[in-house]
Every structure is written in structure tokens, then in C-alpha cells.
Amino acid sequence: MLTFRGVRKSYGDVVAISALDLTVRPAETTALIGPSGCGKSTLLRLAAGLVLPDTGTVTFDGLALSPATIEAARHRMGYVIQEGGLFPHLTARANVTLLADHLRRPRAWIDDRVESLRDLVRLPADSLARFPTELSGGQRQRVALMRALMLDPDLLLLDEPLGALDPLIRADLQRELRAIFGSLGTTVLLVTHDLNEAARLADRILLMNEGVLVQDGTFADLRDRPTGSFARRFVSAWDAP
């Protein structure tokens, strides 16, 4: 579904990702975790084709991402940036339908899709007429998720999707997201700095440090068998729920 081969990305002197080889498996939820600055968001941006690697290749469904292929690939990906990234001057509904309108999807198709997604993310009907500032943080994240799912993406990319929410709402949404991912069977790649969140949401956890993948496995692998001194330190600093 999504493959990185020999990928390196730097910003000036800062190496954000170095020599990354990774295959994101279809229909799984994969969490990228690690300290601030370790390269998680850069890896997600490389997956979305928002930045291109200095060397190496990112391949999405058999197609190497390049300026010529990115637009078509992006239409098959849903991307939720930190804090949701909703346009403040558009209603929630207009945010959700923006790309489908642009692609001239039929009105009846759009209306049906909005209704089924609203049901999926459990938003009240009247909330879609509101502007983002008139919604709660949790509702804004649900709208951002609807927007990302609107075109039924093959790949869903989520950058700290629940980062701005208070702990109780966050725990509720973690449970709901897990159920939503399961019911859709979508491939999900998400960034979090919270190991508990990774454990609740993901089938597979990738621990990163300084632009390098340091461990790849399940939550139980990481918790019980951290490999190397960084993974051991990371796990020993973990607040078990």
C-alpha cells in the first residue's frame, strides 16, 4: 500500500528522516511514536506527498510519488493535520464537501455520503451548519475526520488527531476511532506522542528517534521487549493507565 525505500529528508543541516525503509501494511492501523522532533510529521508529509525525499522513493499503491503523480494519489488519501485544520470561514458541512464539490461529484451522492459519515462519527445533524469556532474541540475533530473520509480514501493519515482534546473526550474518541477504523477496513498511518493512545488505536507501533526507526512491532513487543537503550528509556518513562 505505502512503501518507503532508502528515504532521507533533511531541512538544511537538520536530518529529519534518515535512510528509512518501511512498508505500511494494508487495512492495518500503524502508529508513529517518539519524542518531539524525531521526524514523525515529516514521515507523514512524505507519505502525503507534501514534501519529497532528498533521496529514495515513496511508493503509494505501486506508484512512486512525484510531482506528476501526487495529485491523483492525494485524492485517494485522507489527511487530518494537527488541530484539524478546518477552514474557519466555511461551515462544517462546506469543509467536509469542499473537495467533492471541486471534483463535481453529484449533489445526491454528496448528500448521502455526508449523512452516512455524520452517522459514523456521531455528530448531531445541526452541527454541520455551524462554523468551526461554534463547535467543541471534539466536534471539530469529528468534522476533520469526516472531511478526510469523504472520498473514501485508501489511506488515512492522521497527525496527532486528538492532541488538543481534554483527556476524557480523548479517551472516548480513541475508542470510537478504533471502531471506525475496524468497520472501514482502511489503512491508517497516524502520529502520536502518547504510548497509551498508540496502544488503544494501533495494530502496529513504530518507535522513532532522531529520524530513525528504532523499533517496529505490537504494543506488547514494545512494552515487554524494548530493543536498545532508547526504546528501554522511552518505555520506562511511560505512564501506564
Kindly state the smallest distance separating residue 36's Cβ from ligand ADP, in Å.
4
Kindly state the smallest distance separating residue 177's Cβ from ligand ADP, in Å.
19
Residue 39 CA to its chain's centroid (Å): 14
Query: Which of residues 92 and 157 has its CB atom nearest to ligand ADP in the complex?
Result: 157
Cell numbers at 92, concatenated: 462544517
Query: Which of residues 45 and 142 has its CB atom nearest to ligand ADP in the complex?
Result: 45
What DSSP character marks residue 134? G
Query: Which of residues 37 and 228 has its CB atom nearest to ligand ADP in the complex?
Result: 37
**15 contact partners, CB below 8 Å, separation of at least 6:** 8, 9, 210, 211
Task: Give the position of cell 529514495.
Answer: 56
Residues near ligand ADP (CB under 6 A) = 11, 14, 16, 34, 36-42
Query: Which of residues 32 and 96 has its CB atom nearest to ligand ADP in the complex?
Result: 32
Task: Give dist(CA 79, CA 99) in Å, integer.
Answer: 12
Q: How far is CA 83 from CA 59, 139, 215, in A?
A: 27, 11, 27
Kindly state the smallest distance separating residue 129's Cβ from ligand ADP, in Å.
34
Kindly state the smallest distance separating residue 191's Cβ from ligand ADP, in Å.
6
